[in-house]
């Protein structure tokens, strides 16, 4: 049997085992326990709405009154509606977030927080299920067909256990970020591209624009993948315009207001300084003492995306690989570009759930390097404390290590492209 070397496919086992039912029960138990522990930890904090979740809820309350949340209305509403804990002082998020924000604002803050936690848990399970059961299986011999479902079940259970153990996942759940939903959309994009479900790709790409540091790079990656990618980006852009129509009705200059808020947010709020973010901006500050700012860092990310995209296109153009096989691998590689270069926060590294496919497909020395890179994602704060003696020099101490881990996995991904070309 010829085993596929693509990222966007399930690797089959060597054969069928008589112990498969027992192994299946063990895997299900592991997934159930690890997911259960994360749920218990989260709902112990159910009376304390997440730090970032408060931004979305307040913005929704303002939007539901037909008012733009950028500027004074947001500040006034936050101080009036939140009586304890963190009170948001700025709304720096893009206007296409109005829909989930308004939906959450239908409820009081504690009820909305419980709903938001539940949505995140559903998204975790859905993402693992999509990777395990929707990615195609190729070159299946008749002797192995009975083992395919076991392989998929194992991938699902192990992936859930891995993601619930991830420090970035725990952080994202606790602060109430939208990162888990973006992660689910990226997973569905990869599956949709591999299966030819272009409508799903369009919708999911449009949702990733809610985090421009991720969506903009993915859009560029799709443009670099070929004419079909260009068409999908154009359709996603049209859908995004539809999504921001209500904010435009509230105020026609909402885009300019958002850009001004970003300018105020960058370099003023601690959460958006180099000490807190990841990527090339963070590494420059840690190792060179230079803060280039988030906008230049995003520009460097787009440049890196272009270079990697062209490299992958040249590496596969000689093999005649179909677009539906090339495009998912392009997305996986570009997610690594985003994690390595873009100014994100550590909770955004839940995207590891997608790029772990690079580890699965690596062999030899590349596998050793991939495992080293992946290890940086699991408990990066512990690694940072071990290397730096527990010095609290960053807001999220693991930010340095996850960025380095992403760079290692990106190199593993690019060397795979060269091996494929040589083959």
Task: Say if residue 423's pLDDT is above 50.
Answer: no
pLDDT one-digit tens code per residue, 365-420: 888 888 988 888 888 887 777 777 655 566 677 888 899 999 999 998 888 755 54
* pTM of the entire predicted model: 0.88
Domains of the chain, residue spans = 20-422
Task: Say if residue 138's pLDDT is above 70.
Answer: no
104: Cα separation from own chain's centroid: 21
Average pLDDT rounded to a whole number, residues 49-64: 90
CB atoms within 10 A of CB 275: 16
- Orientation of helix 145-165 relative to helix 167-175, angle to 10°: 60
Q: In angstroms, rounded to a whole number, what is the distance separating the alpha carbons of residues 179 and 201?
A: 18
Q: In angstroms, rounded to a whole number, what is the distance separating the alpha carbons of residues 136 and 215?
A: 25
pLDDT one-digit tens code per residue, 305-357: 999 988 888 777 666 677 777 888 888 899 999 999 998 888 999 999 998 88
Cβ atoms of 163 and 349 within 8 Å: the answer is no
pLDDT one-digit tens code per residue, 180-223: 999 999 999 999 998 889 999 999 999 999 998 899 889 998 88
Query: What pLDDT does 7 receive?
Result: 58
128: Cα separation from own chain's centroid: 13
Which residue's entry shows tokens 């200059």?
A: 253
pLDDT one-digit tens code per residue, 255-307: 887 877 776 666 556 677 778 889 899 888 888 888 888 888 889 999 999 99
């Amino acid at each position: 049997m010829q085993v596929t070397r693509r990222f966007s496919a399930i690797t089959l086992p060597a054969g069928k085992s008589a112990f498969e039912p027992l192994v299946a029960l063990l895997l299900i138990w592991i997934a159930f326990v690890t997911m259960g522990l994360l749920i218990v930890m989260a709902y112990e904090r159910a009376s304390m709405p997440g730090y970032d979740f408060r931004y979305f809820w307040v913005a929704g309350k303002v939007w539901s009154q037909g008012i733009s949340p950028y500027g004074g209305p947001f500040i006034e509403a936050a101080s009036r509606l939140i009586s304890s804990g963190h009170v948001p002082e700025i709304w720096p998020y893009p206007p296409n977030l109005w829909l989930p924000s308004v939906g959450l604002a239908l409820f009081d803050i504690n009820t909305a927080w419980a709903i938001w936690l539940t949505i995140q848990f559903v998204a975790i399970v859905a993402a693992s299920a999509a990777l395990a059961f929707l990615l195609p299986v190729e070159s299946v011999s008749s002797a192995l067909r009975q083992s395919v479902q076991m392989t998929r079940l194992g991938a699902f259970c192990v992936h859930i256990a891995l993601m619930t153990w991830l420090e970035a996942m725990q952080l994202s759940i606790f602060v109430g970020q939208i990162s888990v939903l973006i992660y689910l959309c990226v997973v569905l994009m990869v599956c949709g591209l591999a299966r030819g479900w272009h409508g799903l790709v369009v919708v999911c790409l449009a949702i990733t624009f809610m985090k421009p540091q991720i969506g903009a790079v993915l859009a560029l990656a799709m443009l670099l993948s070929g004419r079909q990618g260009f068409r999908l980006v154009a359709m996603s852009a049209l859908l995004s315009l539809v999504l921001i129509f209500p904010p435009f009705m509230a105020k026609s200059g909402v885009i300019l207001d958002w850009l001004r808020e970003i300018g105020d947010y960058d370099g003023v709020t601690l959460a958006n300084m180099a000490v807190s973010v990841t990527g090339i901006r963070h590494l420059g500050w840690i190792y060179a003492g230079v803060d280039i700012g988030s906008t230049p860092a995003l520009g460097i990310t787009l440049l890196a995306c272009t270079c990697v995209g062209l490299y992958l296109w040249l590496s596969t153009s000689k093999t005649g690989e179909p677009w539906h096989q090339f495009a998912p691998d392009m997305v996986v590689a570009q997610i690594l570009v985003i994690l390595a270069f873009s100014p994100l926060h550590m909770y955004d590294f839940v995207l590891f759930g997608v790029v772990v496919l690079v580890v699965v497909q690596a062999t030899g020395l590349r596998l050793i390097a991939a495992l080293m890179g992946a290890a940086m994602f699991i408990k990066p704060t512990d690694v940072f404390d071990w290397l730096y003696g527990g010095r609290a020099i960053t807001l999220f101490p693991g930010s340095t290590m996850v960025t380095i881990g992403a760079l290692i996995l990106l190199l593993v991904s690019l060397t795979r492209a060269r091996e494929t070309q040589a083959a």
